[in-house]
Amino acid sequence: MFKKVIIHTKKSIKFIVLFAISVFLIVGAIAFLYKPTYSVYMNGEQIGYTEKKAELQHKINDYIESGEEENGNIAFVQVENLPEYKLCLLKKDIVANDDEIYQKIKEQGTTYYRYYAIADSEEEKQYVASFEEAEQVVNGLKEKNSSNLEKISIIEKYEENMQELATAEEAVTNLYKEPVQTVTVAKTKTTGSVNTSLTTSGGKANIGISLARPVSGVITSRFGVRSNLRKSSHTGLDIAASTGTPIGAAASGTVTFSGRKGSYGNMIVITHQNGVQTYYGHCSKLYVSAGTQVSQGQTIAAVGSTGNSTGPHLHLEVRVNGVAYNPQNYVY
């Protein structure tokens, strides 16, 4: 009996050794013939392979942030669909095609330029490259006591095509209007006061509170852009993230809406102080209800793709007294 046990044990050990050798040989053969890589998909279609996923995505992110043109007025590049990666084993004789993948991303990219319009009575008259130059124009008109000061405003523009830009000095000359004077008992009264506030939602309002990022991710659609998905300019910022990613409150406040709302899908609205509201759209789950007091960073919802959406992301809006402002003036 004891001998049978010994024989059986030896056979088991021999089997384990043979099995381990077989596994080692198989793994070795796979390692010799194949290499781990990533299969890249866009819109559900395979477009190639990459061995350097992080490097390729970093290059794509840089392109989205600033484009490739030598133009300081590029605000960003709008890319409707970002690539998806799936780990796979690839035969070693198949070559990765990172450059071709990058070119395909560029082919669907739309470059948006940022510049500033100087409007007179809400009609755009002159265009300058920066907000600093726009302020110089307003100050220049103020120094010359131009009669149209009350009707002058600055509008932040995000467009696919840039208007012809003027220098601040040229804009002042073209916008200047002689002061209107009224004579009363030999005294001359000059009218006019400057309105330096931004009349459109592209500007930056002093909201009096500090906002934190609700979620981390890649910005896929910026404020002010147009798309086939919407009839008007984008009133918020889209941040791509995986479904279920927690969304934190940008600041403390009171939840004044929690539910489904048209193209926003599942949405949370938080009302803060100073007339400030933040919107969180396309959520997969809502964790707080209307009337709830929340603190900054508290989880209020989860990223999703409900409503008018092509993929999981957070649609973030910042509104002041009902007017939408560019969230990138405060976060991201």
Residue 151 lies in a domain: yes
Q: Are residues 179 and 240 in the same domain?
A: no
Average pLDDT, the chain: 82
Q: What is the pLDDT of residue 185?
A: 37
Q: Are residues 321 and 222 in the same domain?
A: yes
Q: Read off the pLDDT of residues 212-237 as tens digits, 9 standing for 90 and up.
A: 999 998 888 888 876 655 556 788 99
Q: What is the pLDDT of residue 227?
A: 60
Q: What is the pLDDT of residue 296?
A: 96
Q: Are residues 247 and 324 in the same domain?
A: yes
* Torsion sign across C-alpha atoms 68, 72, 73, 75: positive
Q: CA-CA distance, 256 to 292, in Å (whole number)?
A: 8
Q: CA-CA distance, 91 to 34, in Å (whole number)?
A: 4
Q: CA-CA distance, 219 to 240, in Å (whole number)?
A: 6
Domain limits for position 223? 218-329
Q: How confident is residue 203, by pLDDT bands cut at 50, 70 and 90?
A: low
- pLDDT (mean) for 131-153: 88
- pTM greater than 0.75 (yes/no): no
Percent of all residues in the chain with a pLDDT value above 70, rounded to a whole number: 80
Written as one letter, the residue type at 58 is: H
Q: Are residues 242 and 308 in the same domain?
A: yes
- Counting the structural domains of the chain, the total is 3
Q: What is the pLDDT of residue 223?
A: 86
Q: What is the pLDDT of residue 70?
A: 73
Q: What is the pLDDT of residue 183?
A: 40
Q: CA-CA distance, 48 to 27, in Å (whole number)?
A: 25
- Residue by residue, what is the 3-state secondary structure of 230-299? CCCCCCCEEEECCCCCEEECCCCEEEEEEEECHHHCEEEEEECCCCEEEEEEEECEECCCCCCEECCCCE
- pLDDT (mean) for 64-85: 82
Q: Are residues 60 and 141 in the same domain?
A: no
Q: What is the pLDDT of residue 273?
A: 92
Cross-strand pairs, 259 = 267
* Other residues' Cβ atoms within 10 Å of the Cβ of residue 98: 18
Q: Are residues 162 and 234 in the same domain?
A: no
Assess whether pLDDT exceeds 80 at residue 57. Answer: yes
Q: Read off the pLDDT of residues 241-287 as tens digits, 9 standing for 90 and up.
A: 999 999 999 999 999 999 999 889 999 999 999 999 999 999 999 99
Q: Are residues 223 and 180 in the same domain?
A: no
Q: Are residues 162 and 92 in the same domain?
A: no
Residue 198 lies in a domain: no
